[in-house]
Amino acid sequence: QVQLVESGGGLVQAGESLRLSCAASGSFFSIIAMAWYRQSPGKQRELVASITSGGTTNYADSVKGRFAISRDNAKNTVYLQMNSLKPEDTAVYYCNLLESLRSSWGQGIQVTVSS
């Protein structure tokens, strides 16, 4: 079983930065990628950024140039550096771990950006 624990969320003003962390623990089977998703009230969950086991990254168009995903393999931790935050970035952010046989989710963490 995999446990994902997110941290680093909170309330900031527009233009400020936050860094989210997601620490994974448990037994892993062939990790494919780790990712961050977000969901705002009334909207579907959307992919924000992902990073494969080989280090290839992918970003939603809305966050390109502002967000950066990275991982520390030794700590089984993935990070999301969020700069130049906008009110529309307000959402619950979820960490995801994709393995060959399963997909695991964190409990989610709130990010609120005030204008």
Whole-number pLDDT of residue 102: 93
Structure confidence by residue, pLDDT tens digits, 69-105: 999 988 889 999 999 999 999 999 999 999 998 999 9
How many residues can be counted in the chain? Answer: 115
Whole-number pLDDT of residue 91: 98
Using a pLDDT cut of 90, give the percent of the chain over it.
Answer: 89
Cα–Cα distance measured from residue 100 to residue 55, given in angstroms and rounded to the nearest whole number: 17
Is pLDDT above 90 for 65?
Answer: yes
Cα–Cα distance measured from residue 36 to residue 19, given in angstroms and rounded to the nearest whole number: 12
